[in-house]
Amino acid sequence: MTKILVVEDEDIIRTALKRLLERNDFQVSEAASVDEALERYKLKEFDLIISDLRLPKTPGTDLIKLAEGIPVLIMTSYASLRSAVDSMKMGAVDYIAKPFDHDEMLEAVNRILTLHANKSPHRETEASGREEDSDEPGTMGMIGHCAAMQMVYQRIRKVAPTDATVLIQGESGTGKELVAKAIHNQSRRKNAPLISVNCAAIPETLIESELFGYEKGAFTGANTNRSGLVEAADGGTLFLDEIGELPLEAQARLLRVLQEGEIRRIGSVQSKKVNVRLVAATHRNLKKLSREGDFRLDLYYRLNVMEIGLPALRERGDDILEIAEFLLSLACERMERNNLRFSKHASETISKYDWPGNVRELENAVERGVILAEGNLIHLDDMGIELPTQAPSRPAPGTQSALPSIGVPQRSPVSNARNDGTKAPDDLSLEDYFQHFVLEHQDQMSETELAQKLGISRKCLWERRQRLGIPRRKSNQKKSG
C-alpha cells in the first residue's frame, strides 16, 4: 500500500487530509512539525510527503533535502504562492494552494505518485534511448495514435523549439496542461521553470497581484515588496490555463508582457524586463468573447500565433480503450490489485460512451471500477456507466445532459423546505440543486460568495459551471470575487 506522510501544524487540516487519503486506500502517517516527523519516522519509508510550507521552527521546505529523493508536495496559502514557486526551485515536486478541494488534492497526489513510479532507472534509460526520436509520441507524455492526435504531436514538434506564443484549445479534461508540458520539455527552456497558473482558480481580487507582483504599500496588507508568477517564470515558460477567465485589467497587463517583454508591479512606477514564453489554454471561444467585450481582441491576436486544438475523447476512436487500459494499470498498481481487466461489455461501452468529462471522467470511472470490482473483471456496474438507449443529443445551455452521470448521489427527498421558507423543487439531484442555486443567486452574489455558500472552492464552482453549461451573467462577471 502506498505510504504518505502529512506534516501540518493545524490539527483540523491534518486530520481532514489524513481521512481523505485513507478513504482512498493510502496508508497515512502524520506529524505536526519537521522535528516531530524526523523523530517518529524514517522519511525514506514513504512514497510521498505532503507538507505545509510554514511550520513551527523549521520550514516544510527543509524536508526536500532531508527526504533524499522522496517527492515532496508543498501546501501553501494564496498569499504565499510566490514562496511556493521558490520551494519548487529548491526541489519540491509541486505545490497546492489552500484552501483546496478534495478532488484537487487527490488529483495532485495521484499525478505525483504516477510520475515518480515512472522514474525507475530502467524507465529512465529507456526514455533517454528514445529521446532523439522526436517522432515518438510517447516522449511527450501523452497516449494516442488517432489522426487528430498525430496533428497535435506534429504541431508540438514544430512550435516547441521556437519562442512563439501558443494557444491550446479543447474541452475541459482533454489534457491541455500535458500539451503545455510537452512544449516546455522539448524547448530550449526545458531547464528553466514551467509555472502553471489556473486563471479560474485564483480569486479575481488577487489575480493581478499574484501574476505581476506588487510594491510595499500598494494596497492594504501589502507590507513588503513581492514579485509575481510572471517574474518567477523569467527565462522559462508561463502556462495560463483557462485564460478566458482572466479579468480585463489583468489582460491589459499581460498584453504589455507580450508586446514589450516587461512587467510593472502594482504600485510601482518602474518597469522590469522579463524573458517569458507564454502558453495559454482555454475551452472558450476567445474571438466570440472579444466581440462581446469580455476579452481583448489585440490580446487574442497576440496569443493565437500557433493554435493547437485538442480533440475531445469521444472523437479519438481506438485511443479511448488504450487510454483506459493505461489508467487501469496505474490504478491497479496504486491500489495493489493485480490481474484486473475490463469485461467484454465494459470494453465495448468504454469505446462507445460519449465521455462529456473527457479523460478526467474516464480516469474517475476506471478508479471506481478498480475499487468496486469483485474477482478479476471490471463490469459496467462497477464503473457506473451505461450507454443511453438512443443517440445522445447535446443539451442546451442551462439544461441537464441526457447522458447518465457517473456516481452522482441523489438528494434525499425527506424534506424539500428551504431555510427561507420557500419550497425547493422535488427530488433534486446534487447537480440539479447546484444549477438551481446558482441561477437563483448569481445576480446578487459574486463568484467567491456563491462558492462559499455552496461549500466548495471557486475553482470547483467554475468547473461545475462548465460541465452543466451554466454561463456567468455579465453583471456577475464585473463583480469582484
Using the predicted structure, report yes or no on whether residue 211 has a pLDDT greater than 70.
yes
Q: Is residue 140 part of a domain?
A: no
The enclosing domain of 346 has a CATH number of 1.10.8.60
Which range has the top average pLDDT, 68-72, 137-141, 164-168, 468-472? 164-168
Same domain, 94 and 232: no
Using the predicted structure, report yes or no on whether residue 405 has a pLDDT greater than 50.
no
Number of domains within the chain: 4
122-131, 141-150, 246-255, 440-449: segment of lowest average pLDDT: 122-131
Q: 411 pLDDT band (50/70/90 cuts)?
A: very low
Same domain, 324 and 453: no
Same domain, 280 and 336: no
Q: Is residue 438 part of a domain?
A: yes
Same domain, 13 and 92: yes
Q: Is residue 122 part of a domain?
A: no
What is the per-residue pLDDT across 74-126, written as a single tens digit (0 to 9) for each?
Answer: 887 644 555 656 666 677 787 787 777 787 788 888 888 877 775 544 444 33
Greater model confidence, 98 or 225:
225
Structural domain ending residue among the three candidates 88, 111, 134: 111
The enclosing domain of 93 has a CATH number of 3.40.50.2300
42-56, 213-227, 315-329: segment of lowest average pLDDT: 213-227
Q: Is residue 136 part of a domain?
A: no
User: What mean pLDDT value characterizes the chain?
Assistant: 80
Q: What is the pLDDT of residue 218?
A: 74
Residues 182, 140: contact at Cβ < 8 Å?
Answer: yes
Q: What is the pLDDT of residue 408?
A: 35
Structural domain ending residue among the three candidates 87, 111, 135: 111
Same domain, 41 and 175: no
Q: Express as a percent the part of the chain with pLDDT over 70.
A: 80
216-230, 241-255, 306-320: segment of lowest average pLDDT: 216-230
Same domain, 464 and 344: no
Residues 218-247: what's their mean pLDDT? 87
Q: Is residue 131 part of a domain?
A: no
Which range has the top average pLDDT, 74-78, 218-222, 415-419, 435-439? 435-439
Same domain, 154 and 294: yes
Cell of 195: 509555472
Using the predicted structure, report yes or no on whether residue 337 has a pLDDT greater than 90.
no
Same domain, 97 and 190: no
Q: Is residue 86 part of a domain?
A: yes
Task: Respond yes or no on whether the N-terminal peptide bond of residue 99 is cis (omega within 30° of 0).
Answer: yes
127-141, 208-222, 266-280: segment of lowest average pLDDT: 127-141
Greater model confidence, 227 or 248:
248
Q: Is residue 349 part of a domain?
A: yes
Q: What is the pLDDT of residue 366?
A: 94
What is the per-residue pLDDT across 354-366, written as a single tens digit (0 to 9) for each?
Answer: 999 999 899 999 9
Same domain, 79 and 161: no
Same domain, 99 and 166: no
Q: Is residue 411 part of a domain?
A: no
pTM, to two decimals: 0.57
Structural domain ending residue among the three candidates 95, 111, 127: 111
Q: What is the pLDDT of residue 413?
A: 37
Same domain, 360 and 478: no
Using the predicted structure, report yes or no on whether residue 206 has a pLDDT greater than 70.
yes
Q: What is the pLDDT of residue 476?
A: 45
The enclosing domain of 165 has a CATH number of 3.40.50.300
Domain extent for 334: 314-383
Same domain, 186 and 304: yes
Q: Express as a percent the part of the chain with pLDDT over 90.
A: 35
- Residue burial 28-45, b: 16+ Cβ < 10 Å; e: rest: bbbbbbbeebeeebebee
